Structure 1
Amino acid sequence: MKNTRSILISGAGIAGPALAYWLHRHGFAATVVERSAFLRDSGGAVDFRGEQVKLLKAMGIFDAVKAAETAMGDEVIIDGAGQPVLAFSSAFFSGEVEIERGDLARILYDATRDYTDYVFGDRIVGLEQGADGVRVTFAGGAVADYDLVVGADGLHSGVRRLAFGPEERFRKDLGWAIAGFTAPNDLGLDHEGRIYNVPGCGVMASSGRDRDRIGVGLVFHAPGLEYDRRDTAAQKELVAATFAGAGWETPRLLEHLAKADDLYFDTLSQIHMDSWSTGRVVLLGDAAWCAGPGGSGTGMAMMGAHVLAGELAAAGADHTAAFAAYERILRPAAKTGQRQGKGAGGFLAPLDAKKIAKRDKIYKMLSGKLAGGFFNWLTARAANAVEYKEYPTLVVAEEGVAAKGTAAEGMRVAA
């Protein structure tokens, strides 16, 4: 059969560049198209545990991730007076190593840009599948042919919409929404975080590697929420109205929200699909199985990239066999992540005072010494749902090299 060597990836976040890395290792040529005009360096912290740490080391980027880690300490649940109610150890939220999403995106981009064709400021608007490839139409007017197309473009995937149908067929809203942004650290936090609740609302603030800034997360119960994804001003107004009257430092944080230029706003939602591929088009990460916060989404997406590229190579570029194997390996793990992520809204923003008190009681018990083993298993089960597997590669990274550049720049051909 015709070798599959030209692969278009939609999305230059985390999953897309991770896939580009592994495709290069297996001898495939990847192009990554990103609708943003630049590499997005915003977003909250993401963490890695267990098998996913093995993956970072295999990619040669663990040292870079470790150097940029948040080094977060405890996350403390507080009352309206700012007094501690319960402290979560760093392992609960931060895993073995935690890094800001923007820092991770930059590391992956820097590790792949020398051998990956990145196209910023464009997007896919048309897909026409044929027996030998996919004809792709871009918003900028260009038309090009590729052997395969991968949608690694998140919860609101354009590739999924074009290839599988409207988002509403696959998206399941969990009943909560989240707003995230950065603000000046006038709370004086130092490698620590705070969580404050009123019924149906959760306020989170933390400061890690950059002591001058805090990451703010505002989670609230919002069943059936409809909003304009492009109207940032309306989103800010909605959040401000929802949290008006909340205590602690919430009014100060809302003042920062009004000035924020990096607002992330969305519903807590999951994607459920019977199949992640159709013909020569396949989905990866949140586009395929979005789990929501707590579902190990970033690490799972990177592990999925590793498996997808490895199975394509193992199948001799037979995409039908490779896609089936990829889904067989990842789907159980994705379901584990979704089960774990399903409760994120209720944990971060319990609906009433009784539920807030019940959450605190349960997690205080779980964080005790006698329940420590179960607690550790609970926080790591999604991350360890897929074991890291070594696939034979054509190109491997030298020890300590973040798989960047040509053969003369730290790469060698495997024997």
Structure 2
Amino acid sequence: MRTVLISGAGIAGPALAYWLGRAGFRPTVVEIAAGPRTGGGAVDFRGAHLTVLERMGVLDELRRAQTGGSPMRFVDAAGRRLMELPADFAGGEVEVLRGDLGRILYEHSTPYAEYRFGDTVTALTQTADGVEVDFARGDRATYDLVVGADGVRSTVRLLAYGPHGRHLSHQGYYVATWEVPGFPGLGRTSLLYNEPGRMASIGGDHRDAARASAFVAFASPELDYDRRDTGRQRELIATALGGMGWHTPRLLAALPTATDLYFDAICRIDVTPWSRGRIALLGDAACGATIGGMGAGTAIVGAYVLAGELAAAGGDHTVAFGRYERLLRGYARGGQQGGQNTGRFLAPRRAWAARLRNSLLNRPYFLNLMLRTADDRTTALRLPDYPLPRADRRPDPV
């Protein structure tokens, strides 16, 4: 039985652990967080994503947990409607909170994998027979293969490929989300307000009317800040949105005490190739596009393809890794193209560009064209039907 270390327990990692375990491999997932991640906004699935989720046996459970999507209504400073997008524009066929998705994937993968929470990889050394891995806790272990499924700032990619700047390109925008007190009467609709280069929005919680979430975006050159310094992140957000109208002051008033702040650049990852020797990259670590790039769906499909190719090759990574990349790279690039336009769509830098967006999308032809384009990106892959037998026992601890 071949051992595989997977770095990252977000979406791609647990999905890969599930498929590898079913194929008879022995996966271990290492995650720097103390436990399964519970926060995050909504992610959506359509096309080939749903096929894989159904084969995993989780689609019905995800449908029960789905948010139902949220219409997006762009408004002026007085709250008057300028343009509205239907729920399936951003929500796809199935939309679910990232925390619910992570929980479901974790629960389905635990019979097939060992999880190491509160730990991370600090060094990788490839040998003829495996990869020697040093962990932050101080121990060392050897695995047949290592997969980085740990996001756009992947630790595995950093160790195996070098500094993030070689592979990460800033797309000119930052985004943030945090919880705010509920807005009565908001329901499921998300309200979005623009000023040039800035967007502020509020979206209702489909489970609790007393809760809502702020989502903001702003144009900016790349900023220098410590990703662990949430105080500095709050300052950057408040400065970027300072003086903005509509409900923005109310959203910012909730920022200092928010415990679930998410702040990051809209960025894109380009790595060639996706593997080096016994080390491979998966999901955002290989081909991420922070928002609007269908990253969650690509991660789900990529996990299935990578595990399937390893199973089909009898564990021979010299064959499987190349086939996995050739099959998936074009598909992933299609999703990334959508992510490249997210910032400009949400927060156009010029007032006339926002007016043009609103005018075009108020016309059914252009709205339907955008919906078809999103669907086409998810159906552009012919999924192999890999023979992945179910494992009949939990793997022995590594």
With normalisation by structure 1, the TM-score equals: 0.92
Quote the residue 1:325 is aligned against. 323
- Decide whether the 8 Å contact of 2:125 with 2:133 is kept in 1: yes
Shift in Å, 1:406: 4.3
Paired amino acid for 2:337? R
SS of 2:256 mapped into structure 1: helix
How many Å separate the matches in 1 of 2:259 and 2:279? Answer: 35
Q: 1:352 to 1:373 in 2, by over 3 A?
A: closer
Paired amino acid for 2:79? G
1:210 equivalent in alignment to 2:207: yes
Q: In the TM superposition, what whole-angstrom CA distance separates every residue of 1:320-377 from its partner, at most 9, and x where no partner exists?
A: 1100000001110111112111111000111021111111122222xx1x45653331
Shift in Å, 1:226: 1.8
| Residue 337 of structure 1, aligned match among 335, 338, 361 | 335
Paired amino acid for 2:384? K
Quote the residue 2:89 is aligned against. 92
Give the aligned CA root-mean-square deviation in angstroms.
1.5
How many Å separate the matches in 1 of 2:288 and 2:28? Answer: 23
How many Å separate the matches in 2 of 1:96 and 1:289? Answer: 23
> Sequence identity, in percent?
46
Shift in Å, 1:48: 0.4
Shift in Å, 1:192: 1.6
Shift in Å, 1:255: 1.1
- Decide whether the 8 Å contact of 2:71 with 2:189 is kept in 1: yes
Q: 1:306 to 1:103 in 2, by over 3 A?
A: same
| Residue 161 of structure 1, aligned match among 144, 158, 163 | 158
Quote the residue 2:63 is aligned against. 66
- Decide whether the 8 Å contact of 1:135 with 1:144 is kept in 2: yes
- Decide whether the 8 Å contact of 1:72 with 1:208 is kept in 2: no
- Decide whether the 8 Å contact of 1:219 with 1:349 is kept in 2: yes
Quote the residue 2:236 is aligned against. 238
SS of 1:266 mapped into structure 2: strand
| Residue 380 of structure 1, aligned match among 358, 362, 375 | 375
Q: In the TM superposition, what whole-angstrom CA distance separates every residue of 1:56-80 from its partner, at most 9, and x where no partner exists?
A: 1111111111111111242111111
Paired amino acid for 2:264? D
SS of 2:112 mapped into structure 1: coil
1:4-43 counterparts in 2 under 5 A? 5-43=2-40
- Decide whether the 8 Å contact of 1:125 with 1:139 is kept in 2: yes
Q: In the TM superposition, what whole-angstrom CA distance separates every residue of 1:220-255 from its partner, at most 9, and x where no partner exists?
A: 001132221111001101101111111111111111
- Decide whether the 8 Å contact of 1:69 with 1:209 is kept in 2: no
Farther-moved stretch of structure 1 (185-194 vs 69-78): 185-194
Paired amino acid for 1:317? G
How many Å separate the matches in 1 of 2:70 and 2:335? Answer: 24
| Residue 246 of structure 2, aligned match among 245, 248, 264 | 248
How many Å separate the matches in 1 of 2:349 and 2:360? Answer: 16
1:278-289 counterparts in 2 under 5 A? 278-289=276-287
Q: 1:385 to 1:181 in 2, by over 3 A?
A: farther
1:258 equivalent in alignment to 2:256: yes
How many Å separate the matches in 2 of 1:73 and 1:204? Answer: 12
1:172 equivalent in alignment to 2:181: no
Quote the residue 1:400 is aligned against. none
- The unaligned stretches of length 5 or more in structure 2 are none
How many Å separate the matches in 2 of 1:129 and 1:385? Answer: 35
Quote the residue 1:399 is aligned against. none
